[in-house]
Amino acid sequence: MPKQGWTTVDLPAMSGRTVVVTGASSGLGFVTARELAAAGAEVILAVRDEAKGHGAAAAMPGTTEVQPLDLSSLASVRAFAAAWTGPLDILINNAGIMQVPQGRTTDGFEVQIGTNHLGPFALTNLLMPHISDRVVTVSSEMHKRGHIDLEDLNGERRPYDSFQAYCDTKLANLLFTFELQRRLTRAGSGVRSMAAHPGISKTNLASHVTGLKGLGLKILACFAQDADHGALPTLYAATGELPGASYAGPDGPGERRGYPTLVQASETARDSELARRLWDASSRLTGTGRNLPAAS
């Protein structure tokens, strides 16, 4: 019987490679880290809860290490990056939160934009001198419902909508991915910036969704794929022979489930001027990102 699509069987040998996976203690991040470790990579689980991270690492084969990282805190991001020594082949920006109650990070950012975009933005830029291969940032099909208000990134001028705030961060992830690739290319760097989305996957991320309980979770289960399959687009983007600015997602109807393939981002996500302005705003807010300037 012919093989249907790309799976973990197609992962290349990763011996001698070092990978950081954020949010690797559960869900898609756990599967991503586990499979890369099984392929021979040294995998650093960058996690908020170290005890949970050590539990996850104990369930993985190969070489793993747990390091603390809270993306909602720029101090934590800076400490993680400052402690890094040696090469880093691949950074996978997987960690994120979804539709949580209104709140602020320790730096005063709206909690979803702070955790899902500004934290990974700062982490990537601070680690960039060490990265030799690629950066993979996990987005979502919900980016197509996103809207970026550069004058109000923290949502202070509008009523809080947890779903809209989440969609906005997923759009920000793609704008960042593509702008990072443009800046790397202009700098003559061979590092690639990629993105991926898991389709609809059954992970604990959905458990935080307001009102999604009982029957809602049962309905979700009918359409969703498990984390093992949901992580495939990330693994494909992290290891496949793909050009920079590639965006991977499931090949099934509506990109809800299936085997990984290259998919299309929205027109807004490809808006280079919006991406440049978001980069500049993110750079001001985080104090990072100035080493990869845009073209004059």
What are the φ/ψ torsions at residue 220 (nearest 5 degrees)?
A: -60, -40
Residue 8, Cα to own-chain centre: how many angstroms? 19
Q: 261 pLDDT band (50/70/90 cuts)?
A: very high
Q: How far is it, in rounded angstroms, from Cα 261 to Cα 225?
A: 16
Assigned domain for 6 exists: no
Q: 201 pLDDT band (50/70/90 cuts)?
A: confident
Residue 100 burial class via C-beta count within 10 angstroms: exposed 0-12, middle 13-18, buried 19 and up: middle
Q: How far is it, in rounded angstroms, from Cα 245 to Cα 237?
A: 10
Percent above pLDDT 90 for the chain: 86
Average pLDDT over residues 259-282: 98
Residue 265: the pLDDT is 98
Catalytic residue numbers read 166
Residue 51 burial class via C-beta count within 10 angstroms: exposed 0-12, middle 13-18, buried 19 and up: exposed
Encode pLDDT of 144-158 as tens digits: 999 999 999 999 999
Assigned domain for 21 exists: yes
Q: 225 pLDDT band (50/70/90 cuts)?
A: confident
Assigned domain for 294 exists: no
Bridge partners of residue 92, in order along the sequence: 21, 136
10 Cβ partners below 8 Å, 6+ apart?
none
Instruction: Name the residue range of residue 236's domain.
Output: 12-286
* Helix or strand (DSSP H, E) at 88: strand 88-93
Average pLDDT over residues 259-276: 98
Residue 210: the pLDDT is 47
Can you spell out the DSSP letters for 181-205? HHHHHHTT---EEEEE---SEESGG
CATH code at position 158:
3.40.50.720
Assigned domain for 26 exists: yes
113 Cβ partners below 8 Å, 6+ apart?
153, 154, 155, 165, 168, 169, 172
Q: Domain tally for the chain?
A: 1
Average pLDDT over residues 15-30: 98
Q: How far is it, in rounded angstroms, from Cα 87 to Cα 110?
A: 33
Q: 207 pLDDT band (50/70/90 cuts)?
A: very low
Average pLDDT over residues 192-197: 98
pTM tops 0.85, yes or no: yes
Assigned domain for 5 exists: no
Kindly tell me if the per-residue pLDDT of 208 is higher than 50: no
Q: Residue 23 in contact with residue 30, Cβ under 8 Å?
A: no
Q: 274 pLDDT band (50/70/90 cuts)?
A: very high
Average pLDDT over residues 236-247: 98
Assigned domain for 24 exists: yes
Assigned domain for 293 exists: no
Average pLDDT over residues 239-245: 98
Kindly tell me if the per-residue pLDDT of 64 is higher than 90: yes
Kindly tell me if the per-residue pLDDT of 5 is higher than 80: yes
